[in-house]
Amino acid sequence: MSGENEEQLSYSDAIKKASPSITRFPVIPVRGVPLMSYIAQNWDSIWAFRPDPSDLLIATYPKAGTTWTQEIVDLLYHNGDAEACRRAPTPVRSPFLEIFSPAPIPSGLDLLEKMDPPRVIKTHLPFQLVPPGFWENKCKAIYVARNAKDNLVSYYHFDCMNQTQPEPGPWEGYIHKFMRGELSWGSWYDHVKGYWVEREKRNILYLFYEDMKENPRREVERIMRYLDLSVSDEVLSRIVQLTSFKNMKENPMANYSFIPEPVFCQSISPFMRKGEVGDWNNHFTPEQSEMFDEDYEKQMKDIKIPFRCQI
């Protein structure tokens, strides 16, 4: 058995072993931002994390295109070598900085400690909660933002299937929780604005999910240039193909099938659900859409970010 398979088995097995203690964890505010209780209880060690200057941060509000970007970056670092990028599941290749779960599931910090830099680190933390070491060490960071309505729809389906997240409740009420910033990781509005205002000062590459859908090759090239990498045209085409929604949905190292059923119920909603722009049209009633847009104008009036709800 190869080391990679052992790693995959041990990660899935750890989750299986922990599954009796997995439940819909409550959220606890950390500096006003609701975070999963396990994260809140371990906050000091997360805040103290010191990255290496060569580490890359991929930051997103949940469900904005994190996994997609993690896969693109891993393929760029491995010159489009699909086999190399199937060495382990996404969260083992590219650990989730702040995640803490019941034993024996390794925390993000446990996984990071065992890896040599340069590491690709995922976070959903809003800008103000990112450990300051990232900025002190001038780490590169990619932020991916997705339009609020599609982001909300995707998060709703995820909260239905992910048994570690708070109960989503009915759709209508969920919209209001989103608008009030009560979901895990807090307000979408503050999140997208927080990174937007800091993007130039901190050299953050700010991407949009909609741009990635519209022209994935252009966006992969932007990521490549930002990372000071250079791959051939052929490799670029291969990366675009390997990271299509269809191919990632079928990739067991990227589609979260390595998180067993009691924890992620993909029979309720697959992790790779639709991967589209504009699916919100199938969920919002005209009244809900109008009410949401009115509130959106208020919450976003101070900072204009060019989101697109349709491409």
**Candidate residues 11, 27, 49, 63; the one interacting with ligand PPS per rule CB under 6 A:** 63
Determine if residue 61 is left, alpha or beta; phi over 0 gives left, psi from -120 to 50 gives alpha, anything else beta: beta
Position of tokens 């010159």? 79
Of residues 150, 197, 194, 166, the one with CA closest to residue 309:
150
**Candidate residues 40, 57, 59, 64; the one interacting with ligand PPS per rule CB under 6 A:** 64
Which of 124, 157, 176, 191 is an active site residue? 124
124 has catalytic annotation: yes
Asked whether the bond before 106 is cis by omega within 30 degrees of 0, the reply is no
Least distance in angstroms from the C-beta of 241 to ligand PPS: 11
Residue 148 binds ligand PPS, judged by CB under 6 A: no
Contact letters for ligand PPS, residues 272-301 (x by CB under 6 A)? xxxx---x----------------------
b/e per residue 42-79 (b: at least 16 CB within 10 A): bbeebbebebeeebbbbbbbbbbbbbbbbbbbbbbbbe
Residue 248 binds ligand PPS, judged by CB under 6 A: yes
Distance, first Cα to last Cα, the chain: 45
204: which strand partners? 141
Closer residue to ligand PPS (CB): 183 or 297: 183
Closer residue to ligand PPS (CB): 189 or 264: 264
Least distance in angstroms from the C-beta of 3 to ligand PPS: 25
Residue 165 binds ligand PPS, judged by CB under 6 A: no
Residue 157 binds ligand PPS, judged by CB under 6 A: yes
Helical residues (DSSP H) of the chain, grouped into ranges: 3-18, 37-41, 43-47, 66-77, 90-93, 108-113, 133-136, 148-161, 171-180, 188-198, 209-214, 216-226, 233-242, 245-250, 286-299
Least distance in angstroms from the C-beta of 298 to ligand PPS: 25
**Candidate residues 154, 163, 164, 187; the one interacting with ligand PPS per rule CB under 6 A:** 154
Closer residue to ligand PPS (CB): 50 or 189: 189
Residue 184 binds ligand PPS, judged by CB under 6 A: no
**Candidate residues 11, 68, 143, 258; the one interacting with ligand PPS per rule CB under 6 A:** 68
Residue 94 binds ligand PPS, judged by CB under 6 A: no
Least distance in angstroms from the C-beta of 160 to ligand PPS: 11
Residue 131 binds ligand PPS, judged by CB under 6 A: no
Determine the Cα–Cα distance for residues 109 and 260; give it in Å rounded to an integer: 22
**Candidate residues 25, 51, 55, 65; the one interacting with ligand PPS per rule CB under 6 A:** 65
Cα-flanking dihedrals φ and ψ of residue 89, to 5°? -65, 155
Burial class, 233, CB count within 10 angstroms (exposed 0-12 / middle 13-18 / buried 19+): exposed
Q: Which residues bind ligand PPS (CB under 6 A)?
A: 60, 62-68, 154, 157, 243-245, 248, 272-275, 279
Active-site residue list: 124
